[in-house]
Structure 1
Amino acid sequence: MESKKAKLATKKISEYLRTSRGSLDPIPHDLIPDILKKLHVKTLARFICISKQYASIIRNKDFKKSYLIKSYTHPQSLIFTFDDNIYKKRVFFFTFDHHIL
């Protein structure tokens, strides 16, 4: 059985969460692509699943082009693998920072 203090604390927390959620200003839509461009590819892949808005931005042709330009001027390493079911092989893709060689 919950004590009166615990119930009161739960009620206060719930009330705080209800009122504070709407008090934050949303991120301006024109800043979201700039923020997304600073993320790693793996994170962008996850963000596609977060919202339709993020997926739309990330899949946009202009976003991809500007992301590739940024990646070329500020390269990051990326390694990923997948199983090719047709040829029954594991396929690896990787990129690397050309300055480290």
Structure 2
Amino acid sequence: MTAEVDMTTPPNPEPVDPTQPVLPPSSPSAEDEAEQLRSFNVREQDSAWRAVAYLLTGPLIYGGLGALADHWLGTSWLVGAGIVGGMAMSLYLIWFRYGTH
């Protein structure tokens, strides 16, 4: 035989005493707020350094690819196009990633 369980009403975890005052949730302590501020500052600093890295690596990589293509094709304008294109892509990536908050 199987026992049937009534799943319609949840069990009461603790009876409520109407004579006891209801306390509001505790507010965060000063240490918790300081830790949250430190965490926020670290995230913002990481984002700033990441944006600087994008600004440097975009033109370097695409300028380098342009230099390789110039050497291979015998042209002289692809380095400049690679640097400008790399900077444009870096700025777009920064705007897309950090400017939409």
Q: TM-score range by the shorter chain?
A: under 0.3
Q: Which has the higher contact order (CA 8 A, sep 6+)?
A: 2
Q: Would you tell me which structure has more strand in proportion to its own residues?
A: 1
Q: TM-score, normalised by structure 1?
A: 0.27
User: What is the TM-score of this pair, normalised by structure 2?
Assistant: 0.27
Pair member with larger Rg: 2
